[in-house]
Amino acid sequence: MLYQSSRGDSHQAASAEAIKRGIAPDGGLFVPTRRISLTADEIYALAKVDYRERAVRILSPYLSDFTTEEIWDCIQSAYNDRNFDHPAVAPLVELEQGLAVLELWHGPTCAFKDMALQILPHLLVKSMIKTGEDAGILILVATSGDTGKAALEGFKDVPRTAINVFYPARGVSEVQKMQMITQEGHNVGVVAVQGNFDDTQNGVKDIFGSQTMAGMIAERGFKFSSANSINWGRLVPQIVYYFSAYADLLANGSISPGQAVNFVVPTGNFGNILAGYYAREMGLPVQRLICAANENNVLTDFIHTGVYDRVRNFKTTISPSMDILISSNLERLLFELTGHAAARVREWMSLLKRQGRYAVDTETREKVQQLFWSDFASDDETVHCIRETHRRYGYVVDTHTAVGLHVYNKYRSATGDDTPAVVLSTASPFKFNASVAKALLGAHETLGKTEFELLQTLSAFSGMPIPRGLQNLQNRPVLHEKVVEREQMPQSVISFVHKLTGE
């Protein structure tokens, strides 16, 4: 399989090069040059095998420059019982007939980013070796919380890689902060920046753009890379769990072979739901992809009108991992739906950059609307849905998953469609315990309690154990205490590299 840029650059890359580069030379996103299809029999056969075997079968055609042994190696390093606390890796829980929840949060950081970030480092290292790269990779991440920890867990102690994470000193939750500053691993660095997330992100962007910095770390044998969600190596592992959910429904006898299902996806950067689109292209019987947004509903508006307009107020919600106004992976969908019309995609992306807004043509809009349906949930609706889901099913969901369930209910009322549905659950309720505990127990029960106390409260209330990754967090040794000004970020990267290379 070869990959090309969504913006038309004529260079085609094998998967190893696409994963190593992350982004195409012209600033576009790498997309597969042809379509992979599974037969109905191949899909049916997935019902009889476990998650790892499902992963090999889905990943292999996309990573055709990897040997099967190399792919197995990556899969086993990622989806094992040291990293995931459930033998099914991504278990499916049926709430009632026709409605199931796919739990994507059994990895080390309790959120769905682990599904991709546990395997990406291994794919990346193999890609470096395959492309004859002899430098080590230094991953830089600016994080508002979730991604940084998931990337740290993914890259810790992976040979030939190192990772330096920056987070805003004001702007991550107590649990998120503790998760990061207690991070173990010989190749990790975590630094707080005096400022907000924008300052932190701009600081990282400046370092990526600096020739001087690149030269300085090259002297120590390193090259910069990023682990962000536009890397094909993060997207492709996500296709697996759509097939896995379908295979589990088949195995349970909940659906018959070939029967269509709907997937409901709490969406931010459009990466998760786009993997569902690729699964459908590969032959998975998906009728509708339901895009669930919070009040940052830029995608809902786009799906309704064909106009993408990021010029609006950013809202801080209780589902913070979906507080996004630029959904980068939408670019890949536009490339696919226009029949690879790279010139048009380039024009839209350029308008987005210059004016914050673009409108797709009628044909493209109609194609989007045939496949996708979208609505959003306010914070009040999200809280209500957490409470209702617990009352009806005795099942506790986090805020992001609740957005998905609420939008699914809206979909059912609006369309009457009773096709079996799978709601993707993107975080453990313990990860966003303050909002979840408040929704379930009321403000009077949670007022004045720390997030660490609320973990206990939620565990006692729900009867669920606190996940391994969040247990005993407040008592773990703090290993990363450094706080810098934004201007000191480059110097801090250099010190980190010196420390790694023994000076």
**Catalytic residue IDs:** 113
Q: Give the DSSP per-residue string, 456-495.
A: HHHHHHH-PPPPGGGTTGGGSPP----EE-GGGHHHHHHH
x-or-dash pattern for ligand PLP, window 85-124, by CB under 6 A?
--------------------------xxx-----------
**Contact (CB, 8 A) for 29 and 59:** no
Q: Which stretch binds ligand PLP (CB under 6 A): 163-171, 270-278, 475-483, 491-499?
A: 270-278
Q: Which stretch binds ligand PLP (CB under 6 A): 266-274, 361-369, 413-421, 450-458?
A: 266-274
Nearest to ligand PLP of 162, 322 (CB atom): 322
Say how far apart CA 240 and CA 189 lie, in whole Å: 31
Q: Which stretch binds ligand PLP (CB under 6 A): 265-273, 339-347, 411-419, 484-492?
A: 265-273
Which residue in this structure is represented by tokens 């009632």?
Answer: 96
**Contact (CB, 8 A) for 240 and 55:** yes
Residue 294 CB, nearest distance to ligand PLP (Å)?
10
Phi-psi category of 110—alpha, beta or left, where left has phi over 0 and alpha has psi -120 to 50? left
Does 397 bind ligand PLP (CB under 6 A)? Our answer is no
Residue 403 CB, nearest distance to ligand PLP (Å)?
8
**Contact (CB, 8 A) for 324 and 272:** no
Residue 266 CB, nearest distance to ligand PLP (Å)?
5
Which residue in this structure is represented by tokens 């809009």?
Answer: 365
Question: Which of the residues 143 through 202 are near ligand PLP (CB under 6 A)?
Answer: 146
> Binder to ligand PLP among 225, 272, 374, 446 (CB under 6 A)?
272
> Which runs of E-coded beta strand occur in 364-417?
372-376
Does 321 bind ligand PLP (CB under 6 A)? Our answer is yes
Four-point Cα dihedral 361, 362, 363, 369, nearest 10: 110
Nearest to ligand PLP of 425, 492 (CB atom): 425
> Which runs of E-coded beta strand occur in 158-210?
161-168, 188-193
Report phi then psi at 2, rounded to 5: -110, 155
Residue 231 CB, nearest distance to ligand PLP (Å)?
12
Q: Which stretch binds ligand PLP (CB under 6 A): 156-164, 219-227, 261-269, 332-340?
A: 261-269
Nearest to ligand PLP of 200, 296 (CB atom): 296
Nearest to ligand PLP of 322, 334 (CB atom): 322
Nearest to ligand PLP of 160, 310 (CB atom): 310
Does 400 bind ligand PLP (CB under 6 A)? Our answer is yes
Nearest to ligand PLP of 4, 147 (CB atom): 147
Q: Is the dihedral of CA 306, 273, 417, 427 positive or negative?
A: negative
DSSP letter (8 states) at residue 112 = T
* Total residues interacting with ligand PLP, rule: CB under 6 A: 17
Nearest to ligand PLP of 5, 144 (CB atom): 144
> Binder to ligand PLP among 269, 338, 364, 374 (CB under 6 A)?
269
For residue 172, what are its two tokens? 């991550």
Residue 434 CB, nearest distance to ligand PLP (Å)?
15
Say how far apart CA 172 and CA 194 lie, in whole Å: 12
Which secondary-structure segment (H or E) carries 287? strand 286-293
Residue 186 CB, nearest distance to ligand PLP (Å)?
27
x-or-dash pattern for ligand PLP, window 404-433, by CB under 6 A?
----------------------xx------
Nearest to ligand PLP of 112, 496 (CB atom): 112
Report phi then psi at 47, rounded to 5: -65, -25
| Residue 477: C-alpha distances to residues 151, 180, 200, 431 (Å) | 20, 11, 25, 20
Residue among 181, 186, 163, 192 nearest 479 (CA): 181
Say how far apart CA 447 and CA 466 lie, in whole Å: 20
Residue 416 CB, nearest distance to ligand PLP (Å)?
27
Say how far apart CA 227 and CA 189 lie, in whole Å: 15
How buried is residue 104: exposed, middle or buried, by Cβ count under 10 Å (0-12/13-18/19+)? buried
Nearest to ligand PLP of 195, 271 (CB atom): 271
> Binder to ligand PLP among 13, 322, 333, 422 (CB under 6 A)?
322
x-or-dash pattern for ligand PLP, window 226-245, by CB under 6 A?
---x----------------
Q: Which stretch binds ligand PLP (CB under 6 A): 74-82, 128-136, 264-272, 405-413?
A: 264-272
DSSP letter (8 states) at residue 270 = S
Residue 177 CB, nearest distance to ligand PLP (Å)?
16
Say how far apart CA 293 and CA 325 lie, in whole Å: 11
x-or-dash pattern for ligand PLP, window 433-452, by CB under 6 A?
--------------------
Residue among 254, 269, 218 nearest 102 (CA): 254
Residue 116 CB, nearest distance to ligand PLP (Å)?
9
Residue 425 CB, nearest distance to ligand PLP (Å)?
9
Q: Give me the residues that bind ligand PLP (CB under 6 A), please.
A: 111-113, 146, 229, 266-272, 321-322, 400, 426-427
